[in-house]
Amino acid sequence: MRQKASLLFLLLGIGSWGYHRAALSPTSIPSFFPSHALVRDTLTATIFFQSDTLGEPIRLAIFDSLLLVGDASLRPALHIISLTGQYLAGLGRRGEGPGEFLNIWKIFSTAPTGIWIWDGRLRRLTQLNLAIRPPRLERQKRITASFDLFSFDWIDEARIISAGFQPDGRLVLMDSTFQTLRVLGPDPPGDAPMAVRQHAYQRWVCYDATTRYAIVAYYYADLIEAYRLDGSLAWAVRGADGFDPIYDIRSYQGAPARATRPDTRYGYKDLSCFIHRDTNTSYAIMLFSGYRANQPEAWMGRALHVVNLSTGQLVARFALSLPSYSGLAIDSDYCVYTIATLPQPAIVRYCLPKNIFF
């Protein structure tokens, strides 16, 4: 009765905006390796870089001894900082021409394709050339896919793995021109329109060359999955909270769209894959929130989850001394970089205990 009353109040309060509750069935993806990892400890942050030079840092990536920082203020669009903390260069600005951006959605480097910056609004990749001095933004590649992409990774020079608001499935395997080769995984569960389900099961992606798995971590669910490139599920694992998306459907100009509820929960804010050099074992590390939309902390990641990609086991969960809102990168010493507000934005560093890998 309380739910019906709340829904009636919402319908009366929004006038011509029509809502109805999406019926979610339990996910059909089993958790083959249920998590028993406990919170090991609270990791203590150290401030790696804080300066007025940073406008609105939003994305991070590490390449060799450099930290690349995407800046939502676009003044400049990209910062290059050495891992010793020295500011080296700022590149890019707001606009639609060469070396210009409307947003910085992802920075990623995968051999042998080099370093790329994804602008979701322009649907364009820009390559960063660090081999010259000063570094330069140069080659551009416009995306021709028929659906919107929000996370993808290179498999090799000829193939790309992607998540987005696609017609079906969990992931899409594409060629280098972004033409679909194969859909990976089942449709997101539920009986809502597919566009709404794809939005509710929004996900981050990275590709691991050792296991040859495409790893996905969900933005609105406490769920991580690994898919083989033939489309089959290798494993699925849940964290301790174990929640699926909760959402309403909004009718806007006759088309269904997803609407956030006060009890919508946020899962993984970012994802990064890496290989432990001593064991040659692959891991994924994820920035986890778990808060509800009506809580002040909803937009902040409060924990790091570490998953062994060979077994699909959640090997560790760490609380963070400074909640971070975005960005995730890990260096060769297994120190994790992310972005916090203190109150101005700062890049902070957490170093993982070495014993979690053995």
pLDDT at residue number 132: 86
What values do phi and psi take at 357, rounded to 5? -95, 0
Does the structure show a pLDDT above 60 at 19?
no
131-176: per-residue pLDDT in tens? 888 899 988 888 888 888 888 898 988 899 999 889 999 999 999 8
What DSSP string runs through 300-355? SEEEEEEEETTTTEEEEEEEEEEEE-EEEEE-TT-EEEEEEESSSEEEEEEEPPGG
Does the structure show a pLDDT above 90 at 327?
yes
Q: Where would I find the H helices in the chain?
A: 2-13, 194-200
pLDDT at residue number 23: 35
- pLDDT band of residue 111 (cuts 50, 70, 90) is low
pLDDT at residue number 257: 84
Does the structure show a pLDDT above 80 at 5?
no
Q: Which domains does the chain have, with CATH numbers?
A: 24-54+144-357 (2.120.10)
216-246: per-residue pLDDT in tens? 999 999 999 999 999 999 999 988 788 999 9
- pLDDT band of residue 321 (cuts 50, 70, 90) is very high
Amino acid sitting at position 143 = I
Say which residue, 32 or 133, is predicted with more confidence.
133
Mean pLDDT within 254-272: 91
| Token pair belonging to 135 | 């570094």
pLDDT at residue number 4: 29
Does the structure show a pLDDT above 50 at 26?
no
pLDDT at residue number 113: 64
Does the structure show a pLDDT above 60 at 29?
no
| pTM of the complete model | 0.87
What does the angle CA 188 – CA 192 – CA 193 come to, to the nearest 5 degrees? Answer: 90
Mean pLDDT within 34-44: 66
pLDDT at residue number 38: 54
pLDDT at residue number 35: 43
CB 222 within 8 A of CB 242: yes
Amino acid sitting at position 220 = Y
Q: Tell me the pLDDT of the chain averaged across its residues.
A: 85
> Cα–Cα distance between 191 and 114 in angstroms, integer?
41
